[in-house]
Amino acid sequence: MPEGDSVHRLAARLRQVDGAVVLRGELRGGDAAGRSLAGRRILGHDTHGKHLLTRFDDGTTLHTHLRMQGSWTLTAAGRRLPVHAARDARVRMAFDDGRTLWGLSLPVVEHVATADVPRVLAHLGPDLLHDPFDAADAADRLAARPDRAVRAALLDQRNVAGLGNLWVNELCFLRGAHPDTPVDRVDVDALLVLARRMLLHSATVPAAYQVTTGRTRRGERHWVVGRAGRPCLRCGTAVVARDDVERVGSPPRRVWWCPRCQPVVR
């Protein structure tokens, strides 16, 4: 599932087209669908949480978000995208060296002035993968609603940017916190230190991507995520799960925890 570490890895992969000039290409989604991108050189790729920023040399930036379904694909010179994938293209950039970059099924495609990027991202909390990470700011934002469930508070990108459902469930387990524990009953500073360390590890170490247990065997890569009904890797108690509907119209999100390692605290 795309989380901050996924987008960080994606940006690292996309940096292979930094410096390339768009020969032909356009936006096929978002408010500016149909706008040509031809003539622009890609200066670089940045991320903030799960948001990807593609900077061009004409003072503009392409802001995209993967949500659950989006992806980026680079095709080599002379190669085509399969027809079914081409239908989902929201961004196309054919470069002067023959390669083509495709943004597929992107739910957010926004072409803005680079000077406006801070405004576009203003709602987001500090990014766990940025250096330096402003942990004090994130802790203040989390403390502003002390009675909120820690799981929901960590998923809220306005508090801290980069954690999705996988990381939040795993972090709650590792800190021994039931997902419904109020924020003010949790050691938020320790939680943020752990979150940053694990996300950085996942984002930068080959083969460590979204492995939280250090074990790479199938079914043992996560402490609780995807393990409902199976024995907790630490204590043997059966892991439990439920589905939470957080917003009307949004698909439910699964919550997993070990009832013994993560007792309820009110």
Q: Which positions are annotated as active-site residues?
A: 2-3, 50, 253
Q: Which is nearer to Zn ion, 32 or 194 (CB)?
A: 194
- Closest approach, Cβ 239 to Zn ion, in A, equals 8
User: Three-class SS of residue 233?
Assistant: coil
The one-letter amino acid at 55? R
Long-range contacts of 32-38, Cβ-Cβ distance < 8 Å, separation of 24 or more: 32/109, 32/110, 32/111, 33/109, 35/111, 37/62, 37/91, 37/92, 37/93
Q: Which is nearer to Zn ion, 38 or 235 (CB)?
A: 235
Q: Which residues bind Zn ion (CB under 5 A)?
A: 232, 234-235, 237, 258, 260-261
- Closest approach, Cβ 173 to Zn ion, in A, equals 8
Q: Which is nearer to Zn ion, 229 or 249 (CB)?
A: 229
- Closest approach, Cβ 229 to Zn ion, in A, equals 13
Tell me which residue has tokens 């930094």. Answer: 18
- Closest approach, Cβ 261 to Zn ion, in A, equals 3
What's the sign of the alpha-carbon dihedral 220, 222, 223, 227?
Answer: negative
User: DSSP letters along 161-198, please?
Assistant: BS--HHHHHHHHHHTT--TT-BGGGS-HHHHHHHHHHH
Instruction: Give the phi and the psi of residue 63 in degrees, each rounded to 5.
Output: -105, 120
Q: Which is nearer to Zn ion, 190 or 235 (CB)?
A: 235
Which position's Cβ is nearest Zn ion?
A: 232
